[in-house]
A and B are shown apart, each in its own frame.
Chain A
């Protein structure tokens, strides 16, 4: 057991003994070993020995303590909508679902804060907040499935980030179970707080590599009186991007400033042409005033109803990646994408949060996507940006670094991981740099 730090691959416990210990320590009812259930929680083709569906943070703690005792590797998960992001796991013994931690712990409407357990879905959370005229202004895909824990672990955001910021900006406190099954907390339950290191920031975007998030406290906002989408068809994708970005120079305060190509427009229920998409919200008077300005700023612009398809864009695609650039560089790069996609012979679909310089780019599995992806990463790097490949068939994942160039020295990431997960129990190998 003590050797596992040096030789993490060694002494993997037998599936039966692992299940037995977990059943004894965590509870027989929460441990599953049926092949069908385990296949559902496979990650990049790796099937675990056991699925534990915890209902309390204590159960999460005990499961992790058992895992460390038996040198078993754990991949924490919520609904599993984004668990595909990352390298193939180096080891995977226990799938630890936090989906059963489903309590809303506190909603203090007057304080504009809400505390939930990690397994609460965003739709469940939204319903609680809506009853008090509030919302958490984040719009990741599939809110009916995505859990609070998953939102944070995978740092999921949508177009609202342009006006309202990201998940990190609303998380004011969090609890996670880290190495040795220890429960740690950072932040608190007040909207302004600088006591202690900002552990919640580390957990956001940690993709299950530091621990299992079990509780989160968010600050929330009043629901806007008006919230509406507008769309303008454009001749080309580059035209859509530059027209959307030109609005940044005017006295407009859009909630979101997105663009999509023709194929994406078709997929999300718009005419099959490139579009500039605009979300306006706030006081009714604000939305009306901006809508009036749009008549001259963005001719051809119409009110639309944008369904869930737009929010879930790209999740079902066989190849999907996330591009991060300066907003001003986006128009040039999407123009290049249109051209290069043709020369590589790949069919690209794209939805960009243009105001934030972020775009989701999707491809089919055939023809082989890697040459195009390599070009796209190079083009992003040239502009000081980056490309994270999220969904990719396993055989390709082995040929390319899905994460790309780290945003800080890898050695520091390693030391940060070791501080919370010294035995590399959590999602080993999956994070940036194979951590």
Chain B
């Protein structure tokens, strides 16, 4: 338990209403989007400025208390689950866009700024912030930095790390420092690039310097309907082989189509085996040429129908159905677990077969909605958390699917992070020397491992359940 004196010190820094200790109120903070594991923090602190973050972190440093950074809590790997860390520091109140420099295509924002707000602010200047995770109406840029978030449009535009030029971070010592900034090529190690994707284990990012990109002159969005997933994946390969890098190339299988159609009435045929959403953008002349090629490729590979969004409203509906597909599956089962794995793009048919096999083996229903162009799969495992046996089967199927990704030359996560969820699988892709080097680098920033402890790295001796008895008993 935190001492009452520390609690009162925290209150003096951020005001009483920004220190959450009421057990009911703390429920909100007991997990993120990965709901298979839950752990309530003792205290949640919501600082309003980097100065307040510094003061809070110094108080914790003085007593050697561990803490977790938290943004909007939309993470999908349990990255902000407070494991043996009594305090969560939530950046959601630090939500100002500090600077938007249209001429230089830069913005400086506080960590709690919601991803979509940046693009909204940049829109009048003909610019946007490119990485667009499906949770973009809620997720914060600080969380995006922690996870190196992606999104559908990262196929062409890259992920968070390709758009972040600098960060201000409060180290676990309470020291507030800046890495990088508005200009590029400055002297020294790329600590900005190294911090992006560090899953909140280096400190609390308080400010982010981002690059903005110009809005394309033209956008064309297509829906291609296929009888089978294999035809759809063949079309993905065909589009890439035709020398086209679409802005986005997304696939949904029949299970997801059914849920999405019921929720949003986009007009997906219920008997389709798979649909592709293909978005092209760029200069109008080139988009026109590529559009013809994309349509031809899809038809050649058996597309039953290729439909172009006629206007912004239709395009918006397509994207809404895609980005909210996760929510729509709520119609199919009480709970779902979204997996995140990556395979080389040409191995998509193989991993889909492996997913089908896992579904059969573990007697589960699994839908697929994913970034086909990147080979970044998102199987959605449906279950009912009231049935402990189903929960066990979901966990086992997830492990099987990830192992299959690794066997196919892929990775454990494309954009959700290792978090608490996948730490024990890290040895599948990294050697002990690799992990040692990473641990040593972590201690360069956080010598006591007090910031977001027990994440990313496998626990010595393997099974987390042994080390941390609370684990594996979903509420």
* Chain A contacts to B: CB under 8 angstroms: 108-113, 133, 155, 165-166, 168-169, 178, 182-186, 188-199, 201-202, 204-206, 210, 221-223, 225, 248, 251, 253, 282-286, 288-290, 322, 324-328, 356-358, 384-386, 388, 403-409, 412-413, 415-416, 418-420, 432
| Interface assignment of B143: CB less than 8 Å from any CB of chain A | no
In the complex, how many angstroms separate the beta carbon of B149 from the nearest chain A beta carbon? 8
| Interface assignment of B444: CB less than 8 Å from any CB of chain A | yes
Q: Which residues of B contact A327 (CB under 8 A)?
A: 103-105
| Interface assignment of B254: CB less than 8 Å from any CB of chain A | no
| Interface assignment of B279: CB less than 8 Å from any CB of chain A | no
- Residue of B188, B241, B411, B413 near A407 (CB, 8 A) is B188
Number of A-B contacts (CB under 8 A): 258
Query: Can you pick out 15 interface pairs between chain A and chain B where the beta carbons lie within 8 Å of each other?
Result: A110-B344, A111-B346, A184-B437, A195-B413, A196-B429, A205-B190, A283-B283, A283-B285, A283-B290, A326-B104, A327-B103, A327-B105, A409-B175, A413-B189, A419-B440
| Interface assignment of B336: CB less than 8 Å from any CB of chain A | no
Q: Which residues of B contact A290 (CB under 8 A)?
A: 283
In the complex, how many angstroms separate the beta carbon of B322 from the nearest chain A beta carbon? 17
Measured between alpha carbons, how far is A286 from B216 in the docked complex, in Å? 13
Q: Which residues of A contact B347 (CB under 8 A)?
A: 111
- Residue of B101, B166, B374 near A191 (CB, 8 A) is B374
Q: Which residues of A contact B198 (CB under 8 A)?
A: 197-198
| Interface assignment of B237: CB less than 8 Å from any CB of chain A | yes
Q: Are the CB atoms of A196 and B148 closer together than 8 Å?
A: no
In the complex, how many angstroms separate the beta carbon of B422 from the nearest chain A beta carbon? 8
Tell me the nearest residue of chain B to A417, going by C-beta.
B189
In the complex, how many angstroms separate the beta carbon of A153 from the nearest chain B beta carbon? 12
- Residue of A190, A284, A357 near B411 (CB, 8 A) is A190
Q: Which of A111, A166, A357 has the most CB of B within 10 A?
A: A111
In the complex, how many angstroms separate the beta carbon of A205 from the nearest chain B beta carbon? 6
In the complex, how many angstroms separate the beta carbon of A222 from the nearest chain B beta carbon? 4
Measured between alpha carbons, how far is A415 from B376 in the docked complex, in Å? 34
Measured between alpha carbons, how far is A306 from B282 in the docked complex, in Å? 26
Q: Which residues of B contact A205 (CB under 8 A)?
A: 188-190
Q: Are the CB atoms of A407 and B431 closer together than 8 Å?
A: no
In the complex, how many angstroms separate the beta carbon of A243 from the nearest chain B beta carbon? 15
Q: Are the CB atoms of A253 and B283 closer together than 8 Å?
A: yes
Q: Are the CB atoms of B417 and A196 closer together than 8 Å?
A: no
Q: Are the CB atoms of A325 and B183 closer together than 8 Å?
A: yes
| B411-426, CB < 8 A from A | 411-418, 422, 426
For chain B, which range describes its interface: under 10, 10 to 19, 20 to 34, or 35 or more residues? 35 or more
Q: Which residues of A contact B413 (CB under 8 A)?
A: 193-195
Q: Which residues of B contact A420 (CB under 8 A)?
A: 437, 440-441
Tell me the nearest residue of chain A to B162, going by C-beta.
A169
Q: Which residues of B contact A325 (CB under 8 A)?
A: 183
| Interface assignment of B244: CB less than 8 Å from any CB of chain A | yes
Measured between alpha carbons, how far is A284 from B241 in the docked complex, in Å? 18
Q: Which residues of B contact A328 (CB under 8 A)?
A: 101, 103-104
Q: Are the CB atoms of A432 and B440 closer together than 8 Å?
A: no
Q: Are the CB atoms of A191 and B426 closer together than 8 Å?
A: no
| B141-158, CB < 8 A from A | 147-148, 150, 154, 158
| Interface assignment of B67: CB less than 8 Å from any CB of chain A | no
Q: Are the CB atoms of B440 and A408 closer together than 8 Å?
A: no
Q: Are the CB atoms of A419 and B194 closer together than 8 Å?
A: no
- Residue of B184, B414, B443 near A356 (CB, 8 A) is B184
Q: Are the CB atoms of A185 and B434 closer together than 8 Å?
A: yes
Q: Are the CB atoms of B193 and A204 closer together than 8 Å?
A: yes
Q: Are the CB atoms of B286 and A406 closer together than 8 Å?
A: no
Tell me the nearest residue of chain B to A155, going by C-beta.
B185
Tell me the nearest residue of chain A to B433, going by C-beta.
A182
Q: Are the CB atoms of A288 and B285 closer together than 8 Å?
A: yes
| Interface assignment of B456: CB less than 8 Å from any CB of chain A | yes
Pairs of residues from A and B, 8 with the lowest C-beta to C-beta distance, nearest first: A201-B193, A283-B286, A222-B243, A407-B186, A285-B285, A415-B444, A286-B286, A403-B187
Q: Which residues of A contact B240 (CB under 8 A)?
A: 110, 112, 222
Q: Are the CB atoms of A194 and B285 closer together than 8 Å?
A: no
Q: Which residues of B contact A288 (CB under 8 A)?
A: 285
Q: Are the CB atoms of A195 and B411 closer together than 8 Å?
A: yes
In the complex, how many angstroms separate the beta carbon of B147 from the nearest chain A beta carbon? 6
